[in-house]
Amino acid sequence: MAMNRQHTIAQTASLSGVGVHSGKPAWLTIRSAAEGAGVCFVRADVTDRDATIPALATKVTTTGLGTNLSNSAGVSVATVEHFLAACSGLGVDNVIVELDGPELPILDGSSRPFVELLTQAGLKEQGAPRRVLKIVKPMEVRHGQKLARLSPAHGFEMRVTIDFPTRAIGRQTIRFVMTPGAFAREVAWARTFGFLHQAEQLHAMGKGLGASMDNTIVVEGDSVLNPDGLQADDEFVRHKLLDVIGDLFLAGGQIEGLYEGEQPGHALNNQLIRAVFADETSFAWA
């Protein structure tokens, strides 16, 4: 398939799980979409108002514990980044994502189940050229020690660093270039992580009710509590990279540029995309 063409999926496919924050069952069905449609979430349980939410940075309303979107009718969808990372990594431009509730299922805490779902559905080439956001001058946002930057480059390259005051994580850095097959092989399987001492606080906020060692790497002190341990010593930074890929896909297309992140998070990534679009001299659609 010509990867400079837009792609959708060849057939409908579904999966189910629980929402990591609500703890409630969540069904997700993907359907093909027309050229130029992008990724659109549709809340099938909402019938009294507009239930379609485009996957765009301008629709991001909250970024605490995940990237969450809302439309002008107040309909929302939460924790979209793992699915969007799979779309970016596999080159899926246009797809309808139908949900029966306000949150995507967390599954195993990575993008791998979504990669498998999209692969099962099959990719279908479309006639229109792919939209690529070409970065033509550096743009960055900072918040204390946190940094996110996009600079001109050939292709799509990312360099991400995290630093946590626990020997279970410490300082980790990864460099990644988006090439065919690389996302599924090197990134998709990296699971989300959290800290045991924060669990009670999250539960009191009505968050993290679906989190478990089946879908989260749990850290306490200097130890990983999951009986099977890590899939790789740097699984933590690989998951941060996964989140970056999902968040940046909210630009509305693939990116041609170099992303550099120091302690990045969902809020900083969204601020970076908005900063790019606020300066028309920083980008061009190719």
Q: List the catalytic residues.
A: 266
Of 100, 82, 67, 76, residue with least CA distance to 216: 82
What the block records as the tokens of 168 is 């279970």
Residue 145 to residues 7, 73, 85, 108, 140: CA-CA distances in angstroms? 38, 36, 25, 30, 13
Helix axes 266-278 and 235-248, enclosed angle (nearest 10): 30
Which stretches of 107-151 are DSSP H helices? 112-121
Gap between the Cα atoms of 103 and 78, Å rounded: 5
Gap between the Cα atoms of 147 and 33, Å rounded: 35
Gap between the Cα atoms of 244 and 270, Å rounded: 10
99, 85 Cβ separation under 8 angstroms: no
Secondary structure element (H or E) that encloses residue 84, with its range: helix 81-90
CA angle 70, 57, 43 (to 5 degrees): 30
Helix axes 112-121 and 81-90, enclosed angle (nearest 10): 50
Residue 270 to residues 51, 57, 219, 247: CA-CA distances in angstroms? 22, 6, 27, 7
